[in-house]
Amino acid sequence: MRLISLVLIGVLLVVGALQAEISFQATVDKLNAAYEDKIHLQLEVKVSDPAVKTTPIPPPSILGLQIGGSGSSVERQGDLTVRKYTYELVPARSGSITIPAFRVEFQNGAVVDTLTSESITVDIAQPKPVKAAGSSVLRALGYGLMLIAAALVAILWLKRRKPPVEPSTPDWREEYRQRFADVRKFAERQDFRTFSTEAMRLIVAIIERTFEARLSGFTSADLLRWLSEKNIDKETLALYKDLFDFCEGVKFSTGKVDVQEGMQATNRAEKIVELLLK
């Protein structure tokens, strides 16, 4: 999506003694939209200290726009952690519509504060007029019925000549790819404990399906030994080992999981899933 650069507010704050740099901007992908279009609003928060938690406050009601889907993501840009919150806005009327200010709450230790954007004005065009029915409607309807009848006759004739086609079965690989996409959302919310548990469970399930094996009761060490017997190359085995070590470490630790290590483990899990589902 090509976003129109509308930096509504950029704020640098000093949080406690850590002097964490925080910036907040809101953008939309278009300022002029057709009535049938959807407008994508993005809130972007950049923090220099990954320990600073940011949470978007539920958006205010917008007269003339309905809030559809929403999403979030986390990525690293150099020394900064970038968190993006997106909203899909659907026009409910035409004319000039103001998107009110949005707020995001940030917390570092016991310090809690908010950043606020400025409002954005978008212009929505009139809906396309519906063409009035003319005097040729009945004639067109008659032609349409004739075409439908001809098509039905052709279909019946083809069915008599061709054997029935067996319905295609869903690709189980796509199902597992979608399941991993759901598991990855835990990592995007920095809930690496839940992510490590669900990722391990899913990867073991894919291995069982791929190799037609039963691996229940296997420890991580048992699973690595079993995989090494399947002629898997050393580089791929190293991916498995690094991911298993991370998941075991998270399972038995009580401290906070490092965000960068968590995202690295997430990328390893994604590579393993893609290799298994080729």
- The token duo for 256 is 């906070």
Is 163 a member of any domain? no
Question: Are residues 192 and 251 both part of a single domain?
Answer: yes
- Strand ranges for the chain from DSSP E: 22-28, 32-33, 39-47, 53-56, 65-77, 80-91, 95-99, 103-108, 111-116, 120-124
Would residue 192 count as lying in a domain? yes
Q: Is residue 44 part of a domain?
A: yes
113 and 196 together in one domain: no
pTM of the model: 0.41
CA 259/CA 79 separation, integer angstroms:
12
Distance CA 206, CA 173 (A): 9
CB 117 within 8 A of CB 101: yes
Domain range holding 222? 172-276
Nearest to 41 by CA among 11, 72, 77: 72
Of the ranges 147-161, 211-225, 232-246, the best mean pLDDT one: 232-246
The band of 200, judged by pLDDT with boundaries at 50, 70 and 90, is: very high
Q: pLDDT digits over 50-105, tens only?
A: 888 888 886 667 778 888 778 889 899 888 888 898 888 898 888 898 888 888 88
Residue 268's pLDDT is 94
Question: Residue 121, CB half-sphere, CA atoms under 13 Å: how many?
Answer: 2
Residue 168 has pLDDT above 60, yes or no: no
Number of domains within the chain: 2
Confidence band, pLDDT 50/70/90 cuts, at residue 13: very low
Task: Say whether both 179 and 119 belong to one domain.
Answer: no
Question: What was the pLDDT predicted at 169?
Answer: 58
On the question of pLDDT at 15 being above 50, the answer is no
> What is the predicted pLDDT for the residue at 18?
44
> HSE-up of 243 (CA within 13 Å, CB side)?
28
Summary mean pLDDT of the chain: 82
**Shared-domain flag, residues 25 and 116:** yes
- Position 68: which residue type? G
pLDDT value at residue 190 = 92
In sequence order, the β-bridge partners of residue 98 are 121
Residue 118: which CATH number? 2.60.40.4100
Assigned domain for 133 exists: no
